[in-house]
Amino acid sequence: MAKINFGGTEETVVTRDEFPLEKAREVLKNEVVAVLGYGVQGPAQAMNMRDNGINVIIGQREGTANWDKAIADGWIPGKTLFNVEDAAEKGTVIQYLLSDAGQRSQWPSIVEHLNDGDMLYFSHGFSITFKDDTGVIPPPHVDVALVAPKGSGRSVRQNFLEGSGINASFAVHQDKTGRAEERTIALGIAVGAGYLFPTTFEKEVYSDLTGERGVLMGAMAGVMEAQYNELRQHGHSPSEAFNETVEELTQSLIRLVGQNGMDWMYANCSTTAQRGALDWKNKFRDAVAPVFKDLYQSVVTGNEARITLEANSQPDYRAKLDVELAAIRDSEMWRAGAAVRSLRPENWKKG
């Protein structure tokens, strides 16, 4: 492992230089990796591993849209595509990539198929950390580990195809075989991680739930709505309000941040923008700090997990979700966004 200085703190990480794909293939040469669930992370991780020469099979309920998606992606029923229980029985690494609610409901039928020396693999610390709510308590005769890509399944696959990979955390919760860490790192490399950094199941889920509800999704959507609404209330057009709130961020500024950091983005903007951003940054930080404190406490106490499990276990969950997402999509702000996106140069009609 390599020691890297992150902001003054030295961390140990694993890169593809020191743990190349050839080594991962050697470690995993006798494994059958059963990916249970072909929803969000499942397709990306499964196809990346397949492309990297790993022996992969899929476990998915027949007759579902995801079963059909797996077939469309080249998985063959009876050969590389099975029902969930059969795949779990055939696998030596069982990647448990069902939704968190799905992991709870399916656990009793999965645990009996975990054989001595198998690895139970997660991409989220949720089920293990909140075991009192999920009931997911692994038996002592298996390795239990985690590789958590820091991006959506779509990004995991797209970055892999572009050759860049995506960063991931890893953790070993239970080492029955004495090889759990080596197997875990090999799997992380096989799914296309850019580099791997160590964590624990608890830290992974605490940071992940906070990030999703905070900066990555919840806070971003909320702050965007607040600014857009304020501009509209003062007579700015939908196009102007959306461009100044979302389009310039996603199409210009955030790319500069990604390339070289926030200071570099500031340095490449006007002096007026620099001054205003520096003056207002701390005001926004101080305003939202109490919200993040409340959010983190709600995560670590298990409150967010219980809300998630209760909501996602309802039989009409999908229908209710569609209604909530439609409300966002049909709002003026995001209808304006659809119009703005249609006017990007790549969408111009040719000829």
Hey, which residues are catalytic here? 124
| Owner of token pair 């958590």 | 148
CB 131 within 8 A of CB 144: no
CA Rg value for the chain: 22
Look up residue 37 and give its two tokens.
């669930």
Closest CA to 130 of 209, 59, 188, 196: 209
Closest CA to 125 of 202, 214, 191, 187: 202
List alpha helices for the chain, DSSP H.
Answer: 21-27, 41-51, 65-72, 84-90, 100-111, 126-129, 131-134, 153-162, 180-190, 201-213, 218-233, 238-242, 248, 254-260, 262-267, 271-300, 303-312, 317-329, 332-342
The DSSP call for residue 349 is P
What are the angstrom distances between the C-alpha of 46 and each of 39, 69, 157, 208, 285?
A: 11, 13, 9, 22, 39
Look up residue 58 and give its two tokens.
């899929």
Sequence-distant (6+) residues with CB within 8 A of 227 are 241, 244, 245
The whole-angstrom separation of Cα 80 and Cα 46 is 11
CB 87 within 8 A of CB 112: no
Strand partners, 340: none
